[in-house]
Structures are given as structure tokens and as C-alpha cells.
Amino acid sequence: MFNRVAFITGASRGIGRATALTLCRAGFDIVVASPEIEKNEEVATEIRACSGEAITVNLDVTSAESVKECFARVVKEKTRIDVLVNNAGITRDSLAVRMKPADWDLVLRLNLDGAFLCAQQVLPGMMKNRWGRIINISSVVGQAGSAGQANYAASKAGLIGLTKALAQEMGSRGITVNAIAPGYVATDMTSVLPEEVKQKILAGVPLGRMGQPQDIANAVKFLSSEDASYITGHVLAVNGGMYM
């Protein structure tokens, strides 16, 4: 019996880190991928401390060359990648009328183009093995929009479209492709928001609390499992009810 291999982008912190540790406990070998080399190693150390196997890669998803090199290295070392979690993401917020073209381009390139490039790298192996799971971390913002986040909303909505297209292309090969749309989650990305903004957001969450990275990691674990084998092209909202 072999352990399945899960490749997680943006795994050095937040949702990615929680997902890496959760899938490790579920018996997956983990690829910790991000450009934060030291933090990657910290996560890998945590994985090994709970008797899991981990390797780290210095991945820049905005670089097609970096993506190709990192995935090739993993396949050479582990022979296979069974689960891809496209979690890497950034924000560069501004009202659309003032948004710099460079900020639009960077957010789309990292959040959306990067996910596509990573998916391209794993699909041939998954098709050969006739088994695979691709899980794209979208956002409630990609479903509902958000003032001041035209670039982020467009990238996360694009991930939903990418998810549905790949699900249709890959279903006959035993590969499922799903998206998770987190709501307001306590991460480095949301920690910088002013307190009054946080309270305003919370007022619109029926469950009355911020989500935790573990809430998203639990959803990833489910979609990565055999229990989710008949679910594909789905957008799973993990948002406390803030968007229905």
C-alpha cells in the first residue's frame, strides 16, 4: 500500500499550512510548495514530527519555468502526484478607478494563471494513473464580488470557471476537480484589516465568527478522499453563511 502524494501551493502559512498538516494526518505524503523557503522547512518539520513524509519546493507560480522545474523534481522523487491543492494567492486591493495595471496583472497571474500552470503539470500523470484530485481555493469574493477587490474577485471567479471546465474535461479519466470558496478566514491576509472593517464583515456572517484555516483544511481533506469520488465541478462554500 502506498501513500498518496499531495502537492499544496502556498503551503508555508495560513490555509495552506493547515491543509498540509491535515492531509499529513490523513496519511498523505506532502509537498510543501511556496517561495518562502524557511517557512516551508518549518511546516515540513511539523509534518515529520507527526510521522509524516514531506518535501519542500521553492515554487513561484508566476513563473512557468519554476512551476515546470518544481513539479518535475517532485515526480522524479515521488513518482506521482495524486492531489493538487491550488491555494497560493495574494491581494493588491484598490478601487478599480485607481487600480494600477501592475496590481491587476500580478493578482491575476499568481492567483489564476498559477493555478492553471500547476494543473497542467499534474494532469498527464493523473490521466495515466486514472485517479486524481485537483482542489482550487477560490473565495466568497469570487462569488459575490467585493468593492476594492476587482482584481482579486476576477481571479477567484476565474478559478471557479477553470474548475468547471477541467471537471468536464477530466471526468472520464477518474480525476475530480472542485473548488472551495472560503469566507472570512483568520489568516495573515485578513489580519491587516482595520477592526471596524472586521466587525462589519462579522455582522454579515450568520454563524457569528471568523472561519479558521482548519475549517478549510477539513473541506480539502474531504474532497481529497474516496468519500468525494462522485463530486466534481462543485464549488463548496465554507463561509459561515455569509453568502448563500
Indicate the pLDDT class of residue 52, thresholds 50, 70 and 90.
very high
Mean pLDDT computed over 97-125: 98
Query: What's residue 225's pLDDT?
Result: 98
Query: What's residue 67's pLDDT?
Result: 98
Known catalytic residue: 152? yes
Q: What is the domain partition of the chain in residue ranges?
A: 5-237
204-234: pLDDT as tens digits: 999 999 999 999 999 999 999 999 999 999 9
Question: Which one is catalytic: 152, 184, 230, 243?
Answer: 152
**Dihedrals φ, ψ of 57, to 5°?**
-135, 140
The whole-model pTM stands at: 0.97
* CATH class for the region spanning 5-237: alpha beta
Cβ atoms within 10 Å of 100's Cβ, excluding its own:
11
